[in-house]
Amino acid sequence: MERLKVSAIIQVPINKAWQFWTKAEHVKGWNFASSDWHCPNATINLDIEGEFHYTMAAKDASASFDFWGIYKKIEKEKLIDIVLGDGRKMSVSFEKINNATQITEEFEPETENSIELQQAGWQMILDNFKKYCELNSENL
């Protein structure tokens, strides 16, 4: 199965990017594709076979769902392999580039939405992550 890929270079050191990605209090600040959605709840058990659960919800309360997965491989500040709740595989890699971090997500697409829509949505969430990290890096 073809995997989709999104990537961004975040202007923060890799240790900060890792913390923003793996701490629930930060995930709530960036894990949504557009300003009319938010992530009101997030839990993370960052262990092999541990789970994460992110509530993704429309701000007008018209829609909500639990985006979740199970951690299969964790290499601190390098790689996270996940099996999503629907069985699709996903990986997130962290690469140091000078004093910045390149995050690359690869994932198996789902069948409900077009490839283009999925690619755009995941990229928008990753772009939110970049913006959140760069705005909050001094507070970490």
Query: pLDDT tens digits, residue range 53-110?
Result: 999 999 999 999 999 999 999 999 999 999 999 999 999 999 999 999 999 999 999 9
Measured between alpha carbons, how far is 42 from 60 in angstroms, rounded to an integer? 19
Nearest CA to 134 out of 13, 7, 1, 3 is that of 13
Contact 25, 132 (CB under 8 A): no
According to the model, what pLDDT value does residue 1 have?
A: 65
Question: For position 112, which CATH number holds?
Answer: 3.30.530.20
Number of domains in the chain: 1
DSSP state of 98: T
pLDDT digits (tens, 9 = 90+) for 98-111: 999 999 999 999 99
* Boundaries of domain holding 123: 4-139
According to the model, what pLDDT value does residue 2 have?
A: 83
**139 pLDDT tier (thresholds 50, 70, 90):** confident
